[in-house]
Amino acid sequence: MKPSVRRVVAPVVGIVAFLILWEAAVEVFDIRRFILLPPSSIIDTLSESPGFYWDNALITIRHVVVGMSMALTLAIVVGSFMAASRFVEEATQPVLVLVLVTPWVAYITSVVLWLGKGDPSIYFMVAFTSFPVFTFGVVGGMKSADPAARELLRSVDARPWEVLWRLRLPSALPSIFTTARFAIGLGLAAAYFSEGSALTSDGLGAIGRRAASFNEAEVLWTTIVCAALLGIAGLTFVSVLERILLKWHVSQRS
């Protein structure tokens, strides 16, 4: 099989096999509907009102995109200072680790009380969870900039913003893309949980939370699957963008 064909066929075969096993496991082990629905039921629910799920998925996408954009922007600013100064790096690192390891779900109630219900709390939570990951990626990438190139720019007295723009930021792109893959999972989870907790009525998380309260297993599982599909779409988008922007990088060359 040609590599180009294999790259498309193999994942499809894997996913179809997984769905068949899932369907069979629910049937054979007689699993209760609220614990796990067969994929056929989820597909039925989704096909009954695709517009409803699509509209809510768009809201979740907005929450993830805005929150992660805020996190990435802040990570580039903070990361630039950390990469430029050993002192700033050593002072900031413990705080980032603290944010990274603390269970963020515990903060949601306080954040809603602070920022109010709705979008601001959700944006904050998405940004809060993905910020440390992005920052570590930015710092690692910026510090990996070729020392000879750094010296070269120093030799013409390049200004700090020029070193940042022409050398450090492009050098950080590969690790930013790597961390974006982790950040998407974290951001999506944060958006889903926050939508369910931020007293909002829209978004996959809000519908899922409501469905859980009213024992609507089909709706709950459909939102879970939609969120998973969003994650796959997000990762695919990152991979495509990486392929376009990093065509010069060794990871993108065969």
Partner 1 sequence: MSGPPQRPVADATVRLRSLVVPARIELRDVSKTFGPLDALAPVTFDVADGETVTLLGPSGCGKTTLLRLIAGLETPTTGAIAVNGMTPSEARRHKQIGFIPQSPALLPWRTVEANARLLLDINRSASPTSPSASVTELLDEVGLSDFHHAYPHELSGGMQQRVGLVRAFALDAPILLMDEPFAALDEMTRTDMRHLLGKLAEPLGTTVVFVTHSIPEATFLSDRVAVMSARPGRVTEDITIELAHPRLPDLEDTDDFFHVTTRLRAALSAGMDR
Residues 127-146 that bind partner 1 (CB under 8 A): 146
Piece of the chain touching partner 1 by CB under 8 A; list 77-85, 89-97, 117-125, 164-172: 164-172
Contact characters 228-247, partner 1, x per CB under 8 A: ------------------x-
Residue type, 138: V
> Which residue number, 66 or 153, has a Cβ lying nearer to partner 1?
153
Q: Where are the alpha helices (DSSP H) in 85-216?
A: 86-101, 108-115, 119-143, 147-155, 160-163, 169-197, 204-213
Please identify, using beta-carbon distances, which residue of 150 and 210 lies nearer to partner 1.
150
On the CB side of 104, how many CA atoms lie within 13 Å of its CA? 24
Distance separating alpha carbons of residues 97 and 73, to the nearest angstrom: 19
Cβ distance to partner 1 smaller for residue 29 or 161:
161
Q: How far is the CB of 154 from partner 1 (least distance, A)?
A: 6
Which among 9-17, 70-78, 153-161, 194-202 is the span making contact with partner 1, rule CB under 8 A?
153-161
Asked if residue 2 binds partner 1 (CB under 8 A), the reply is no
In this structure, are residues 197 and 109 in contact, taking their beta carbons and an 8 Å threshold?
yes
Binding of partner 1 by 162 (CB under 8 A): yes
| Smallest distance, partner 1 to C-beta of residue 165, A | 10
Q: Report the alpha-carbon distance of residue 111 to residue 36 in Å, rounded.
A: 32
Establish if 159 lies at the interface with partner 1 (CB under 8 A): yes
DSSP label of 246: T
Which range in 119-127, 163-171, 199-207, 213-221 contacts partner 1 by CB under 8 A?
Answer: 163-171
Q: In Å, how far are 76, 176, 184, 186 from 181, measured between CA atoms?
A: 17, 9, 5, 9
Neighbours of 109 (CB within 10 A): 12
Binding segment for partner 1 (CB under 8 A), chosen from 13-21, 37-45, 131-139, 167-175, is 167-175
Q: What string of DSSP letters covers 12-26?
A: HHHHHHHHHHHHHHH
Residues of this chain that interact with partner 1 (CB under 8 A) are 146, 148-149, 151-159, 162, 166-167, 170, 173, 246, 248-250, 253
